[in-house]
Amino acid sequence: MAGLEDLYKEIVIDHYRSPRNRGELETPPAQHAEGLNPLCGDEVHVYVQVEDEVITEVAIGGQGCSISQASASMMSAAIKGKSLAEVRELSTAVKSMMSIHEQSLEDDDSGVLPEPPEVELGDLEALKGVVKYPVRIKCATLGWNTLAEALQS
């Protein structure tokens, strides 16, 4: 599986070096939220424009570690042009991917996890390579949590 690990690493580095959808959107019409991960000093700003239940525009700002910024970039590429329902599924799939790892690390077999939705993760799959390091999970989910806030704003 070493090849897969390398691929994951490459995807993360690529998104960190060439972040997608970097910038700002005018608010309104766009919705905006800022997320902080004090454990690591990460900051992610998410701007989304929603028209007819579809994310038509997304922009990402902020600064922080490679995982937080690469993860936010991957998220922006994954959600652009998707319906809010599709985005919710993606978000659930990413978070369950993280919590499965969290749980296996704790070696806790008490809880039964809900079946993750069957969605195409694309580059987001690369986050699997990250979540072996529990301290980085908050970095990787920061973008998604901030997106949820932006959509509620």
Token output for 97: 């991917």
Q: Per CB under 5 A, which of residues 36..55 are in contact with Zn ion?
A: 40, 42
Cβ distance to Zn ion smaller for residue 31 or 143: 143
Q: Which whole-number Å values give the CA distances from 82 to 19, 49, 56, 63, 90, in the listed order? A: 19, 11, 8, 25, 10
Closest CA to 45 of 16, 18, 76, 17: 76
- Report in angstroms how near the CB of residue 103 gets to Zn ion at its nearest: 21
Q: Any idea of the CA torsion for 106, 109, 114, 120, to the nearest 10 degrees? A: 60
Find the part of the chain contacting Zn ion (CB under 5 A) among 6-14, 23-31, 34-42, 96-104. Answer: 34-42
Is 136:87 a contact under the CB 8 Å cutoff? no
- Report in angstroms how near the CB of residue 40 gets to Zn ion at its nearest: 3
Count interface residues toward Zn ion (CB under 5 A): 5
Taking residues 113 to 152 in sequence order and writing x for each that binds Zn ion by CB under 5 A, - otherwise, the string is --------------------------x-------------
- Report in angstroms how near the CB of residue 74 gets to Zn ion at its nearest: 14
Cβ distance to Zn ion smaller for residue 74 or 139: 139
- Report in angstroms how near the CB of residue 69 gets to Zn ion at its nearest: 8
Q: Which residues contact 9 (CB under 8 A, 6 or more apart)?
A: 126, 129
